Amino acid sequence: MESCHNKDMALLDHRIRRLDEKLAKLNKLRPLSSTQVQKLREQLEIEMTYNSNAIEGNSLTLRETWLVLHEGITIKGKPLKDHLEAKDHKEALDFLFELVSNRRCTISEHLLRQLQQLVVQETEKECAGRYRNGVVIIGGAAHVPPDAIDVPRQMGGMMQWLKNNERKLHTVELSAILHHKLTAIHPFFDGNGRTARLVMNITLMRKGFPLAIILKNDRKKYYDVLQKADDGDRVPITLFIAQSVERTLDLYLRTFAREKPTKLVTLADVSRYTPYGQKYINLLARTGRIFAVKRGRIWYTTKEDIEEYRKGRLRKR
């Protein structure tokens, strides 16, 4: 067990160094094209809204989420609540981007209540912006959140922890642990997960990282690393969040670092032109060792990135 933990720690150190290197590359490209930044923001807002809501059980697909938010279309056969959740989350994201752009993003209990109020304002009006006053159960988890009477004290303790560690921990580690602490306290009757993912991103974005998205298809792994954090091991959730950060950071670098955009291809297609099998390339994509993006259940990468990986292996040999 200790050997596995040490291995994870080494992997985390390597991943964080790589993230810092990539962020430095992105910063050298600034100022970025405002048109391209806006297009990326719109794309990521839809993906974030879809994935964050879907993790909580929202039935809208990615395409349906886009139609609801951009065309104002009502999706036949889908609950009204799901439509309202999409609109609420988009409004919360707009608020988040405004905070970060204006550098008015000091994290406080007031800000957390504001975010939660936005994500449930049309679906759970009676509990919007208020700490819970009763018992909650996290479905499928062994963790039991604190009694309602203890929530204010624990939230105050979390804010003090944040103040004490903001300059001690790496931004990715800070955001991951803060995310876990908030979900463990579960201070609201509804919207805890969505609020935690939003505040995680404020922590990241105020230090220059782009929006990080936890994918619906990674929900099982997401719950698993949260459970491990409940048991005291926060390295897995930090690794998990780091992978989400790197996924979007790679997208920004691909967009702004190359004059000509490269073509995304499925892992099955790219395996035909490389010495690696599809299963091995899938492993590289899932572990973040190559650039890859996930759309629905399908991973995409580029021939150029596989070639860079192959050259890197040859250099090591």
Residue 267 and residue 305 in contact, taking contact as beta carbons nearer than 8 Å: no
- Rounded distance between C-alpha atoms, residue 52 and residue 222, angstroms: 12
The one catalytic residue in 83, 89, 180, 186 is 186
Annotation says 186 is catalytic: yes
User: Environment class of residue 51 by beta-carbon count within 10 Å: exposed (0-12), middle (13-18) or buried (19+)?
Assistant: buried
- Rounded distance between C-alpha atoms, residue 83 and residue 80, angstroms: 5
CA-based angle 61:120:227, to the nearest 5?
75
DSSP assignment string, 185-208: H--SSS-HHHHHHHHHHHHHHTTT
Residue 203 and residue 196 in contact, taking contact as beta carbons nearer than 8 Å: no
Residue 272 one-letter amino acid: R
- Rounded distance between C-alpha atoms, residue 29 and residue 186, angstroms: 39
Active site residues per annotation: 186
